[in-house]
Chain A
């Protein structure tokens, strides 16, 4: 029979969100905290993100991914949090029972509160339906990052990167430094998906061509990639005929977006938002199902690990407090807004609101609507889809009566880099 245990708080996923949540649950007085991680090490994706840029927001110091992770691991080691690595959570019920396996056996863990922090996965070639052969040499950028930084192998020698997201840009530099030739970065949109700083230091520094409004429309090569065909696209992203050209390469890296991993959330019947792909949450990162919390990229893909830490700490504390359900404001993404997180506001006294814009814009106004009237506006100079706008909830004069609130962003659109 599977071994049965009980826990005050069970955290599923030991990446940055799970580590911060487990730590803050413990500090908030949880009697027992189990942190389940399917990998053999804690930290999630951080140990392979060897570049700097982490921690500026919360520590004012720029760290690399492995350093950021190790600080949390050391802090966890000083608590009574039981970190179970090599442990895969496979089933989750609405009654807060997690079933998991690890090399010691099969486990059934009943928890008072469950924190979901499973993170996200990368979009694949299959999802993009890029036609052509199915040879070796097509990698998601994160997989390539693991191979280079942890396993010590290049994915190939001549590389085309599809997508100008940050992982793609950072891998362009990393691969170049290790002696591979990054032939180009191809972006389907007409503007940069990643940070400008990464464009300058990863692409411009190495004279790597970056093509906007282009995509890969075919993979050639039966055994290993021999070339890709790139095409110009129209505003909707549809390839224009006549503009195709072949680029010889042995590797195609895909940096084309991330998807929150919510298979377990679905099993537990937690209501999910079609916009973020993750559970609807309030400012405590409490989901619509009592006793379940969701923080980090499982709720919505964040751009900074610092933000993930901030929201996970809130979820960790709230999981211990276990406040009863109550009526909440419901936030909707209006014009110019890709996603808002949280989408529920319990009180709005503390915590943060993260807004991801749809487009790069200058002279931006963020407006909050209650029915037909704007009750709060905030002006900011610039916004980009790659950078969430972070607002303090306490700044916003939330209406007395709970109801639906629409968030809207307006401004002048920017194309290209800046």
Chain B
């Protein structure tokens, strides 16, 4: 798995995902200044975040022991730093939880020290 590299470049082309318009945005970056052409105000805010600190809600599954299903789906409690998602996936591969698990419960805290928790998204009963 390889996430898109986000090196400090002078020019960037991004697609805005704030609304369904999907505007193409040209971004110029020099020192700390970020200039955005194309799109709207909301788009500009999106781009600045996307360049300085891109984050994504991560959804995946964990192994679950003695459950009616072998996997329990989970999500991060808030968006997680995008560039650390591969490391997060590796960490989550090492986890195994025990059934039952209830939707909404926090299953792991402060993932990789990023202050984001992991939440169960489907109740998995214990296998009889």
Contacts and interface: CB of A to CB of B under 8 A. Distances in A.
Instruction: Tell whether A and B belong to one assembly.
Output: yes
Interface string B1-45: 111100000000001010011111000000000000000000000
Given A67-B121, A382-B20, A382-B21, A418 B1 contact: no
Given A66-B73, A152-B71, A205-B3, A52 B59 contact: yes
Interface in A163-218: 174, 176-179, 195-197, 199-201, 204-207
A50 B20 contact: no
B22 A52 contact: no
B66 interface: no
Interface string A51-81: 1100000000010101101100000000000
Contact of A70 (B17, B70, B103): B103
Interface in B54-70: 56-61, 63, 69-70
Contact of B4 (A47, A150, A151, A204): A204
Main secondary structure of the interface of A (DSSP, over half): helix
B20 A387 contact: yes
A382 B17 CA distance: 14
Contacts of B58: 177
Main secondary structure of the interface of B (DSSP, over half): loop
Interface residues of B, number: 30
Contact of B17 (A67, A152, A179, A197): A197
Contacts of B22: 196, 382, 417-418
B89 interface: yes
B106 interface: no
B48 interface: no
A129 interface: no
A69 B103 CA distance: 11
B71 A150 contact: yes
A38 interface: no
A147 to B, nearest CB: 11
6 contacts: A50-B60, A64-B73, A148-B61, A152-B70, A199-B15, A417-B22
